[in-house]
Amino acid sequence: MIEFTFWDILRNLLLAARWTVLLSLVSFAGGSIVGLIVMFMRISPNKAVATIAKGYIELFQGTPLLMQLFLAFFGIALLGFTVPAWLATGLALILWTAAFLAEIWRGYVEAIAKGQWEASASLGMGRLQQMRYVILPQAMRIAVPPTVGFSVQVVKGTALTSIIGFVELTKAGTAVTNATFQPFLVYGLVALIYFALCWPLSKSSQILERKLNVAHKNH
Amino acid sequence: MGYRLDFGWIPQYWPVLVSGIGVTIYLIAAGAAAGCLLGMVCAWTRALGPAWARPVVVAYVEMIRNTPFMVQLFFIFFGLPSLGLQMTELQAATLAMIVNLGAYSCEIIRAGIEVTPRGQFEAGASLAMSRFQTFRYVVLVPALQRIWPALSSQIVIVMLGSAVVSQIAAEDLSYAANFIQSRNFRAFETYIVSTLIYLLLAILLRQVLAWVGRALFPKRRSAR
């Protein structure tokens, strides 16, 4: 029987963690783009468009990410493509992230005083220009802490992709456990690696929030 | 190449789905009740408890909030037996739900406690209430009332997260879906149906929690 040293286990887990990081980055970047579009739709004066966006958000926030992954995996396959696991997981995670980011950002965009909209409209700005030059720069500033905070959920969400066969940190943990029969050590290490990825994000979100609160205290 | 969606299997497998729904409801009921209790104890410890216990609670909360639920589940189900703690799938799943929700609710409840004005503690003390009585009657109830919406949405999130327990073969709704699709080979339809059931459960749970909130905290104008 092959003996595995502690270093063997840790190295394999860390190598797999690269995929967790990459998948998190892709999901977060893609989710931001889609999320911004959904947020635009959500606050649209057009009732039908706003309702569609609302339905999208409700659907993705009201169902398990695991089910969304399964549906993406088997749904794309139905269209006649063979789906590599990374594509299905990437797609599902992007759509899921977008729903949450859209809802978080909507709150901050709506928090911007109505007068700002009216002032920019009176300058003859179109809706996109208003967003781009007046509303978003202000809203995004206060939305940074919760957005960073949500990125932790994205990193943790990637763990589910192991179930449909994407080899990242959790999947590697299972594989290494099956080879070494040391579940306590291996899953403990897996948890610590996730913690090392997520904790700095949580902490910086808190610090950013505190800074912002101090900046807004005196008004 | 046309694919016809086929839902003809539903009557045959309905009992499987229902028993899965039952387990999911049990998990969230047990997890929410015990998890919130654990959260209250932890929040008390962090805010007013003995100094040595505070770092322990902080470590517990940070560790749980910064790792995926699935890894916690695997650690409990696969890892703990090597310490001699053997559990059934359902016990492990329940424990994981409680431990997970305990950490989140601790943080939420603590936020509610922290905004309690200092004077409330002093007022409690001046009425000759003990520290515990002050906490129980003066601090905790308004704090819970304040954070009930946040706690409710966290409970819904944990309910949706519970779909993962099928990975250790706890027989919840997602386990039922996996089981059915392995028999009827209608994976897409099976997951659509189970996803819709989850959506329905989430909407229902939100209603139930709003109702519980109204029952626990009858409107009091003076509260705040």
**pLDDT of residue A134 exceeding 50:** yes
The DSSP call for residue B217 is: S
Q: Considering only residues 145 to 174 of chain A, which have any Cβ-Cβ distance to chain B shorter than 8 Å? A: 152, 156-157, 159-160, 162-163, 170, 173-174
Report the pLDDT averaged over residues B89-104. Answer: 97
A219 pLDDT exceeds 90?
Answer: no
All residues of chain B having their beta carbon less than 8 Å from the beta carbon of residue A187 are 71, 74-75, 78-79
Reply yes or no on whether the pLDDT at A146 is more than 70: yes
Question: Is A162 within 8 Å of B70 when comparing Cβ atoms?
Answer: yes
Tell me the average pLDDT of chain B.
91
Give residue-wise pLDDT tens across range B126-148.
Answer: 999 888 888 888 888 888 999 99
Contacts of A78 in chain B (CB under 8 A): 3, 188
Name the minimum distance, in Å, from the CA of B75 to any CA of chain A. 5
Predicted pLDDT of residue A217: 58
**Across the A/B interface, how many CB contacts are shorter than 8 Å?**
117
**What average pLDDT does this structure show over A154-178?**
93
User: Largest alpha-carbon pair distance within chain B?
Assistant: 79
- Per-residue pLDDT, averaged over A189-216, amounts to 91
Name the residue ranges covered by the structural domains of chain A: 6-217
Q: Is the pLDDT score of A214 beyond 90?
A: no
Run of H or E including B189: helix B187-216
Residues in chain B with CB shorter than 8 Å from the CB of A159 are 68-71
Cβ–Cβ < 8 Å for A205, A146: yes
Contact B89, B169 (CB under 8 A): yes
* Cα distance between the two ends of chain B: 63
A76 pLDDT above the threshold of 60: yes
pLDDT at B50 over 80: yes
Q: Is the pLDDT of residue A48 over 50?
A: yes
Among the partner-chain residues B78, B81, B188, the one whose CB lies closest to the CB of A75 is B188
- Mean pLDDT (whole number) for B9-16: 92
Residue A27 has pLDDT above 60, yes or no: yes
- Written as six digits, the tokens of B178 are 């996996």
Q: Which residues of chain A have a CB within 8 Å of the CB of B199?
A: 59, 62-63
Chain B residue at shortest CA distance from A183 = B79
User: pTM (2 decimals)?
Assistant: 0.90
Q: How far is A181 from chain B (nearest CA, A)?
A: 10
Q: Averaged over A207-212, what is the pLDDT? A: 89
What pLDDT is attached to residue B220? 60
Tell me the three-class secondary structure of chain A, residue by residue: CCCCCHHHHHHHHHHHHHHHHHHHHHHHHHHHHHHHHHHHHHCCCCHHHHHHHHHHHHHHHCCCHHHHHHHHHHHHHHCCCCCCHHHHHHHHHHHHHHHHHHHHHHHHHHHCCHHHHHHHHHCCCCHHHHHHHHHHHHHHHHHHHHHHHHHHHHHHHHHHHHHHCCCCHHHHHHHHHHHHCCHHHHHHHHHHHHHHHHHHHHHHHHHHHHHHHHHHHCC
Interface test with B, best of A61, A177, A187, A210 (most B CBs within 10 A): A187
The reported pLDDT for the residue numbered B131 is 82
What is the distance between the alpha carbons of residues B17 and B5, in angstroms, rounded to a whole number?
19
Q: Which residue has the higher pLDDT, B135 or B33?
A: B33
**Record: contact B188-A198, CB cut-off 8 A:** no
Domain ranges in chain B? 10-216
Cβ contacts (< 8 Å) between B69 and chain A: which residues? 156, 159
Question: Which residue in the set B65, B71, B163 is minimally distant from A170, CB to CB?
Answer: B71
Q: Say if residue B4's pLDDT is above 60.
A: yes
With an 8 Å Cβ cutoff, is B188 touching chain A?
yes
* Residue B6 vs residue A54, higher pLDDT: A54
Architecture of domain B10-216: Orthogonal Bundle (1.10)
DSSP B80: G
Q: In the structure, what pLDDT confidence band is assigned to residue B201 with cuts at 50, 70 and 90?
A: very high
Q: Is the distance from CB of B93 to CB of B25 less than 8 angstroms?
A: no
Across the range B66-94, mean pLDDT stands at 94
pLDDT at A218 over 70: no
**Across residues B199-209, what is the average pLDDT?**
96
Instruction: Note whether A194 contacts B66, CB cutoff 8 Å.
Output: yes
* Residue with tokens 């189900």, as numbered in its chain: B77
Report chain A's C-alpha Rg in angstroms.
21
For B161-185, what is the mean pLDDT? Answer: 94
Among B63, B66, B174, the residue with its CB nearest the CB of A67 is B174
Q: Is the pLDDT of residue B223 over 60?
A: no
Could you tell me the pLDDT band of residue A192, with boundaries at 50, 70 and 90?
very high
Tell me, what's the pLDDT at B118?
Answer: 83
| Dihedral sign (CA A135, A37, B164, B207) | positive
CB proximity B104 to A under 8 Å: no
Contact call for residues B68 and A159 (beta carbons, < 8 A): yes
In the prediction, which pLDDT does A164 show? Answer: 87
- What residues of B are in contact with residue A59 (Cβ under 8 Å)? 199
The residue type of B154 is Q
Among chain B residues, CA nearest to A193? B67
pLDDT the model gives residue B160: 96
Cα dihedral: A36, B197, B74, B100 (round 10): 70
For domain A6-217, which CATH number applies: 1.10.10.10, 1.10.150.20, 1.10.3720.10, 3.40.120.10? 1.10.3720.10
Average pLDDT over residues A64-88: 87
User: Do B65 and B158 contact (CB within 8 A), yes or no?
Assistant: no
